[in-house]
Amino acid sequence: MRVVVTGGAGFLGSHLCERLLALGHDVVALDNLLTGDTDNIAHLAGNPRFRFVKHNVTEYIFVDGAVDAVMHFASPASPIDYLEMPIQTLKVGSLGTHKTLGLAREKKARFLLASTSEVYGDPLVNPQPETYWGNVNPIGPRGVYDEAKRFAEAMTMAYRRYHGMDARIVRIFNTYGPRMRPNDGRVVSNFIVQALRGEPLTIYGEGSQTRSFCYVSDLVSGILSLLLIAPSEELDVPVNFGNPEERTVRDLANKILALTGSSSRIEARELPVDDPKVRRPDISRATRILGWTPEVDIEQGLNLTIEYFRRKIV
Positions marked active-site: 145
- Which is it for strands 175-176 and 69-72: parallel, antiparallel or unpaired? unpaired
- Among candidate residues 287, 280, 285, the one with its CA nearest the CA of residue 126: 280
Residue 187 found at the interface with ligand UDP (CB under 6 A): yes
Give yes or no for a contact between 28 and 53, defined as CB atoms under 8 angstroms apart. Answer: yes
C-alpha–C-alpha distance, residues 194 and 256, integer Å: 10
Residue 262 found at the interface with ligand UDP (CB under 6 A): no
The kind and range of the H/E element at 36 are none
**Residue 271 C-beta: closest distance to ligand UDP, Å:** 6
DSSP string, 114-141: EEEGGGGBS-SSSSB-TT---B--TTST
Query: Which residue lies nearer to ligand UDP by CB, 151 or 204?
Result: 204
Query: Which residue lies nearer to ligand UDP by CB, 4 or 276?
Result: 276
C-alpha–C-alpha distance, residues 108 and 175, integer Å: 31
Query: Which residue lies nearer to ligand UDP by CB, 56 or 194?
Result: 194
What residues from 195 to 214 belong to the interface with ligand UDP (CB under 6 A)? 202-204, 209, 211
Rg (CA), the chain: 19
**Residue 186 C-beta: closest distance to ligand UDP, Å:** 3
Q: What is the residue type of 41?
A: I
**Residue 220 C-beta: closest distance to ligand UDP, Å:** 19
**Residue 89 C-beta: closest distance to ligand UDP, Å:** 13
Give yes or no for a contact between 15 and 217, defined as CB atoms under 8 angstroms apart. Answer: yes
Number of residues near ligand UDP (by CB under 6 A): 15
The kind and range of the H/E element at 274 are none
Residue 190 found at the interface with ligand UDP (CB under 6 A): yes
- Which is it for strands 246-248 and 210-212: parallel, antiparallel or unpaired? antiparallel
Compute the 3-state secondary structure of the chain and give helix, strand, coil in percent, each to the nearest 5.
Answer: 40, 20, 40
**Residue 174 C-beta: closest distance to ligand UDP, Å:** 5
Residue 97 found at the interface with ligand UDP (CB under 6 A): no
Query: Which residue lies nearer to ligand UDP by CB, 38 or 202?
Result: 202
Binding string, residues 61-80; x marks residues near ligand UDP by CB under 6 A: -----------------xx-
What residues from 264 to 293 belong to the interface with ligand UDP (CB under 6 A)? 271-272, 275
Binding string, residues 241-260; x marks residues near ligand UDP by CB under 6 A: --------x-----------
CA angle in degrees (0–180, nearest 5) for 40-15-252: 95
Which positions touch ligand UDP (CB under 6 A)?
Answer: 78-79, 174, 186-187, 190, 202-204, 209, 211, 249, 271-272, 275
